[in-house]
């Protein structure tokens, strides 16, 4: 009887080990393949626990990438490359209404939405007009501009 119990335990253990090896043998390639696959979609969206969008990842028209961080379905921050120019990159901060207020960019122009040779930080009013612009131009010269409502300098240095 004791021999039967030991034989039963040994056979059961061997079958268990073999079954585990078979499962691992067939499952691991599928797991490794799943990890190497890519998500190919127009927009990759991450939804939070209260079913609101937390992040969006998209590809702009000129390549690069666009990551938006949301709060209460309003964009609050954005990291973007290749939106207006293949070499441009920027970081934007938005207020609670979704209005862009701070713009940090490489290859930005002198007005909102244009490409140029400026590297700088722009602070915008509620109508998306640059009011404060600080940075370095294409020659490496620093600048500070305080602009009126029409975009005309009211103070600048140098």
Query: pLDDT by residue (tens digit) across 91-139?
Result: 999 999 999 999 998 888 877 778 888 999 999 999 989 999 999 999 9
User: Residue 33 pLDDT more than 60?
Assistant: no
pLDDT at 79: 93
Q: Quote the distance between the C-alpha of residue 152 and its chain's center.
A: 34
pLDDT of residue 18: 67
Q: What is the pLDDT of residue 123?
A: 93
Q: Which residues pair with 71 in a beta bridge?
A: 74
Position 91 scores a pLDDT of 92
For residue 104, the SS3 value is strand
pLDDT band at residue 1 under the 50/70/90 scheme:
low
Average pLDDT, the chain: 82
Judge whether 74 and 96 are in contact, CB under 8 Å.
yes
pLDDT at 12 over 90: no
pLDDT score for 158 = 77
User: Would you state the structure tokens that stand for residue 106, as one six-digit string?
Assistant: 């490489």
Tokens representing 125?
């009013």
Closest C-alpha among 100, 133, 132, 131 to residue 118: 133
């Amino acid at each position: 009887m004791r021999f039967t119990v030991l034989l039963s335990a040994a056979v059961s253990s061997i079958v268990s080990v073999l079954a585990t090896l078979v499962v691992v043998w067939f499952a691991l390639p599928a797991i490794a393949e799943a990890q190497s696959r890519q998500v190919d979609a127009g927009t990759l969206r991450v939804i939070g626990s209260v079913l609101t969008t937390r992040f969006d990842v998209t590809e702009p028209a000129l390549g690069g990438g666009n990551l938006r961080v949301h709060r209460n379905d309003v964009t609050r921050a954005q990291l973007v490359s290749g939106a207006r120019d293949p070499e441009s990159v920027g970081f934007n901060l938005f207020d609670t209404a979704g209005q862009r207020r701070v713009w940090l960019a490489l290859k930005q122009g002198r007005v909102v939405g244009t490409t140029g040779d400026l590297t700088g930080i722009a602070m915008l009013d509620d109508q998306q007009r640059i009011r404060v612009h600080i940075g370095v131009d294409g020659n490496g010269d620093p600048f500070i501009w305080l602009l009126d409502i029409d975009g005309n300098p009211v103070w600048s240095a140098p």
